[in-house]
């Protein structure tokens, strides 16, 4: 998709949850990066063997990592809150914490 920078790190947390660490990125820039990624996911079609296609969407929760963040678990919990807000708000959207 070409939406990640070489310094960005992404990985699967489990189930259908993924995380992306974007070093040297301000919160507003992280939001717009997530929005570009969301749009790229939405634009893709997956061809199925029966000739049909599958459309996939994604919801994102964005939380900055700062010196005040006590642990990785706390940081992930801070991102979960806006993620669930995105899902409650209709899915296929980005929501930032705060």
Q: Which residues are catalytic?
A: 16
Going 61 to 37 to 10 to 29, the CA torsion angle's sign is: negative
4: left (phi over 0), alpha (psi -120 to 50) or beta: beta
Beta strand extents in the chain (DSSP E only) = 9-14, 17-21, 45-47, 53-55, 60-62, 94-96
């Amino acid at each position: 998709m070409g939406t990640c920078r070489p310094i960005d790190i992404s990985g699967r947390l489990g189930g259908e949850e993924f995380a992306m660490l974007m070093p040297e990125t301000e919160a507003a820039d992280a939001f717009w990066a997530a929005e570009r990624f969301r749009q790229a996911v939405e634009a893709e079609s997956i061809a199925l063997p029966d000739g049909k296609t599958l459309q996939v969407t994604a919801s994102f929760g964005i939380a900055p990592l700062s010196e005040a963040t006590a642990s990785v678990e706390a940081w992930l919990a801070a991102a979960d809150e806006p993620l669930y807000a995105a899902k409650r708000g209709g899915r296929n959207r980005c929501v930032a914490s705060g």
